[in-house]
Amino acid sequence: MIAQPASNGIPEYADPSSLPAHVGIIMDGNGRWATRNGLPRSMGHERGVDALRETVRAAQKLGLSYLTVYSFSTENWRRPMAEVTALFALLRHFIKKDLKRLKSENVKISVFGTRAGLPEDVCSLLDMAVEETAGNSRFNLGIAFNYGGREEIARAAKQVAEKVATGEMAIEDFTEEAISRHLDTHPFPDPDMIIRTGQEHRLSNFLTWQGAYAELVFMDVLWPEFGEPQLREALEKFGARERRFGGLGKEAG
């Protein structure tokens, strides 16, 4: 289903409709990769950043429009503080090293999650990444950082409820669509596919609302080993599936 790029660098697809508009990735397995290779966990996270760079390049090359990566969850605060600090350091390094290139490639960066508890300089870097790429339009990179799906839904529902309470919205307008408009990910479309590496088979509070009808692809590869071949494999699996959204499939027709 996924064709090789044409000579001009733009991929050609036999069936463009088979390509998902928005892909979410749960980047899991950095620590286990490091352990397997006799390295400190921090080295696993460093290799994970390299895998992220390659995956962002591959997503653009293959013609995706939206990619959202789960880089730090609200539950990750439960990890040892040394590891949390190392994750913050890698985010700083990624933005400082890659922002200029991403900006030149017409990539728009969006950040999803709460800023509660984050160091001030990390918040400033996240804001800078969003502001400096706000005018870009070729590719959309969402970074879910200090993010939790349930917490996001609660904040969105609170915002809608406050508007109802102040008369800005009618109670009849408190709908699924209203909540969707107040989620961090708006105006990203809901993900068509969510990939999880690391041999686990759960969503771990990632895009809880948005992923209701996403195709789930669980891969045995650990995140530092992920790259273009694995992304192609996941896209092939997506293209082979029939999405029914609660309706009847083609065979029932």
74 a known binding residue?
Answer: yes
Burial of 20: CB neighbours in 10 Å, binned 0-12, 13-18, 19+: buried
Rounded Cα–Cα distance for residues 76 and 71 (Å)? 10
DSSP 165-180: HTTSS-GGG-SHHHHH
Residues composing the chain: 253
> Which element (helix H / strand E) includes 26?
strand 22-26
31 a known binding residue?
Answer: yes
151 a known binding residue?
Answer: no
54 a known binding residue?
Answer: no
Catalytic annotation present for 127: no
115 a known binding residue?
Answer: no
Residue 250: how many other CB atoms lie within 10 Å? 7
55 a known binding residue?
Answer: no
53 a known binding residue?
Answer: no
78 a known binding residue?
Answer: no
45 a known binding residue?
Answer: yes
Whether the ω angle into residue 187 lies within 30 degrees of 0, i.e. cis, is yes
Considering the candidates 8, 37, 50, 76, report the single residue annotated as catalytic.
Answer: 76
41 a known binding residue?
Answer: yes
Number of helices (H) and strands (E) in the chain: give both, helices first. Answer: 7, 6
Catalytic annotation present for 28: yes
Residue 120: how many other CB atoms lie within 10 Å? 8
Which position has the token pair 């409820």? 161
Considering the candidates 28, 98, 184, 192, report the single residue annotated as catalytic.
Answer: 28
106 a known binding residue?
Answer: no
Known binding residues for Mg(2+): 28, 215
Positions marked active-site: 28, 76
Known binding residues for substrate: 29-33, 41, 45, 73-75, 77, 79, 196, 202-204
